Amino acid sequence: MATSDILVGLPLHPTVVNALWQAKSEAGSLPVDTRGLLVALMRVDTPGSWERIQLHCGDCNSLARKVAVDPAPRSTAHWAGIRLTDTCAQALRTAVELAQHYNLHGVPAGMLALGLLADSSTAAAQVLHDGLGHRELLDIVHADVLGGTFTGIDAELRPTTATPPQPALPPATSEQMLYCLHCGAVPAAAVTIRSHRGFVLWMQFVRMPGPFCRDCGLATLRRMTIESAWLGWWGPLSLFINLFTLLSNASAHSRIIQLAAPFPGMPGRPMDPGKPLFHRPAAIAFLISISILLSFWVVLPLLSI
């Protein structure tokens, strides 16, 4: 039977992608159902707080042994070649729609968990109902696993009936698909931040590649720009090279500052951007450097007249 590919309109967090591939490995030739995907998600989402769910409902191994079937077990859709039951495909869509509703720039593990459990008839919800009621279950996932407060999410999680996948959403843009290289957050921009150290006899070029989220990008850019302001001028060619470096960082800054704040649920903590560049005492390096350079390029030639 031919299956249709599900194109999500937002990037999936690497933890979600890993869970999908692990669930595929465990399912073998069968399509991945919501129970299998939930168990795989609990195993790979090490930063997530699943303790209360495991305390009431059992660990991953015991959940995997329970008998439960999705209400729509046929497979008419797949994601990146991974066959999904129609119920599981709808759960993935629910997670994407929730993320879009709250203007997130990606789908974290906690949002997928809510999508898998939003309908109380899914296999994922069935294996957890032995220890928790459906409403209580959703509240715990919202508070512990998603780790955020989203106003009105109760209304968004009203019981739904699993349906076959609807027409595919537009694919995410290349910018949306990027994750911060340093903390894993989205959204991120593919920029490179540079600094230059110029001395009389030698030079050093420092390059920090992205992608960067907004906070990691600002923290890195401010630190490396201050380094360039102090150390980048003191060689025969460094005046011009350092000027190019600062202009390059200004271009990177214009892209980073347009990013939304990193949203919660990512594996690492974004860097602290700290104070704006010119609110830092170290920014006096710009004034000192300009004064010294003017003395060499303007004042000394005038004294020789």
Model pLDDT, residue 179: 76
Encode pLDDT of 89-136 as tens digits. Answer: 999 988 888 888 877 777 888 888 888 988 888 888 888 876 677 788
Encode pLDDT of 7-39 as tens digits. Answer: 565 678 888 888 999 999 888 888 899 999 999
Encode pLDDT of 49-89 as tens digits. Answer: 788 888 888 888 888 887 788 888 888 888 878 889 989 99
Instruction: Answer whether 0.75 is exceeded by the pTM.
Output: no
Least confident piece of the model among 113-127, 134-148, 221-235 = 134-148
Model pLDDT, residue 304: 58
Model pLDDT, residue 164: 45
Encode pLDDT of 234-283 as tens digits. Answer: 777 877 888 888 888 999 999 999 998 876 555 567 888 888 877 877 77
Model pLDDT, residue 162: 41
Model pLDDT, residue 37: 92
Model pLDDT, residue 48: 67
Model pLDDT, residue 160: 46
Question: 218 falls in which pLDDT band (50, 70, 90)?
Answer: very high
Q: Residue 125 in contact with residue 33, Cβ under 8 Å? A: no
Residue 158 has pLDDT above 60, yes or no: no
Model pLDDT, residue 6: 61
Encode pLDDT of 171-209 as tens digits. Answer: 444 444 577 888 777 788 899 999 988 887 888 888 898
Residue 233 has pLDDT above 80, yes or no: no
